[in-house]
Amino acid sequence: MSCNMAGEEDFFLEEKRFKQYCEEFIKHSQQIGDGWEWRTSKDLGDGYLSKTHFQVRNRNIPPDLKENSDNIEQTLFTHVEESSDDSQVAGVCATEEVIHYEYHVLYSSSYQVPVLYFRAYFLDGRPLTLDEIWKSVHACYKARLLEGPWDTITQQEHPLLGQPFFVLHPCRTNEFMSSVLTSSRKQNRHINYIVLWLSTVGPVVGLNLPLSYANLAPKQNTNADSV
């Protein structure tokens, strides 16, 4: 931990601490059925957080589901749980109107921060292009993305899978996280780094955390909030 030019502390995240936060995160996810899991690379032995999410876009919603859009995703998840074949979901929604998102959270040894990788494709297998990804970004985030490089969306090779993924660049993650964590320490608040970080960057690419994650905090006597 060091101090930056603004006088705030720099909170670099150690890999060991990253995994501890991930364990807490997954435990809560399992309790609420949010779908996050820990996956390990067979060849390298490294692991990462993973979640699959189906998003319905521009769909004519049936009257019985129109009042509660959450029912649509629940219908999709129920159907997917019964079969791992994406083509099966086509029976619930039209192929061109359902997008399969896959989110991965990895640890970056270079930046000492978590990094969000993701990819998206239609159920017919056609991947979304970078231009389509940009168009899917909500307007309230797009201006900020274009102004600063800290969370610019680019396409890179997944460091563990060797496949093309989109990624939110982590070069300024420590900068904005240090500011928030410094404030939390002054208020004596105990928080989970992954929850705080993911709730900040996730919405940019359509990934939202349930509010119950905000109550997830390590025990005070473990010093788990010290990055």
Number of H helices, E strands in the chain: 7, 8
Chain-centre distance for alpha carbon 167: 10
203 close to 151: Cβ distance less than 8 angstroms: no
For residue 135, how far is the Cα from the chain centroid? 18
Both tokens assigned to 126: 């056609």
Which of 63, 85, 89, 87 has the alpha carbon at shortest distance from 75? 89
Catalytic residue among 22, 93, 140, 171: 171
Q: What is the signed CA dihedral for 140, 105, 167, 46, rounded to 10 degrees?
A: 170
Is residue 22 annotated as part of the catalytic site, yes or no?
no
How many angstroms from the chain centroid is the CA of residue 220? Answer: 26
Which residues, 6+ apart, have CB-to-CB distance to 39 below 8 Å?
A: 47, 48, 49, 50, 104
Nearest CA to 161 out of 44, 64, 36 is that of: 44
Distance CA 62, CA 71 (A): 11
Strands 47-56 and 98-108 turn out to be antiparallel
* Contact by Cβ (8 Å): 118, 55: no
Positions annotated as catalytic residues are: 171
